[in-house]
Amino acid sequence: MRPRYLSPREVSLHNVPEDTWVSFLGAVYDLTPLCDQYKGDARTHQHVALISSAGDMLMKPIIEAAGQDISHWFDLKTKDIRTHVDPVTNTVTFHTPQGRFLHVPPPYPSTDWANDFGRPWWRDTSYQVGLLSKKTRFIRVINTLTSQEHIIEVCTEEIMSEILQRYLKYNAHAGSYTWKHAERELDMGLTLDENGVPDEDEEFLRLRLEPDDYRQTLHLYYNDDLTEA
């Protein structure tokens, strides 16, 4: 199964405790279940509420980072939280300048540190919902039947059938159209680049041209099955 690709803008829309996404090291994680699990509840027993409150405190850096890329939290080689030498204890500890967060042990021995949670959330792929696109681009889509025109942002890694899925919100019958570029039918199993639809953003930037005036355009032609009768 092909992975789902997401743009930074799509990730940024999930930026509240009730809907918390983050991206790091090229992957996108939905941490909403984690927020639900550790959020406080004033109606619980006092002892449980105290634990929940601690969970809230440790979730704070994660919630504050909702919708953002947090790759700078991690070591690119180990794929784990970055470390540094603590200037007080002169020992290697996790480096969390944004504040210690869930599943990161305290820098000093502590009786309230419970390490029976299993895998830390950043190593738990059950939270992963897709991959972060390395580059997105905007394309113009013109429906030749209705003359409607839309500019949509797509991930460069996506094949045409996945781009079609993005376009469905504008036209629920997009699958009934033939997609073409420069009068040439596009292969729905290939990416835009593989279909010969180049990404010229860098060239426009070099020439100081406004990309909006030169968007690559895809034309949709309605498949009229009655012509086969």
- pLDDT (tens digit per residue) in 43-69: 333 333 333 455 678 999 999 999 999
Sheet with 19-24, side-by-side order of all strands: 5-6, 128-132, 27-30, 19-24, 15-16
Q: How many CB atoms lie within 10 A of CB 112?
A: 8
Q: Please tell me whether residues 24 and 98 are part of one structural domain.
A: yes
Q: Please tell me whether residues 198 and 116 are part of one structural domain.
A: no
Last residue of a domain, one of 132, 165, 200: 132
- pLDDT (tens digit per residue) in 74-122: 999 999 999 999 888 888 999 999 999 999 998 887 777 878 888 999 9
Enter the pTM of the model. Answer: 0.85
Last residue of a domain, one of 92, 111, 132: 132
For residue 41, is pLDDT > 50? Answer: no
- pLDDT (tens digit per residue) in 164-188: 999 999 999 999 999 999 999 999 9
- pLDDT (tens digit per residue) in 181-216: 999 999 999 999 999 999 987 777 777 777 666 789
219: domain range? 136-228
Q: Please tell me whether residues 163 and 178 are part of one structural domain.
A: yes
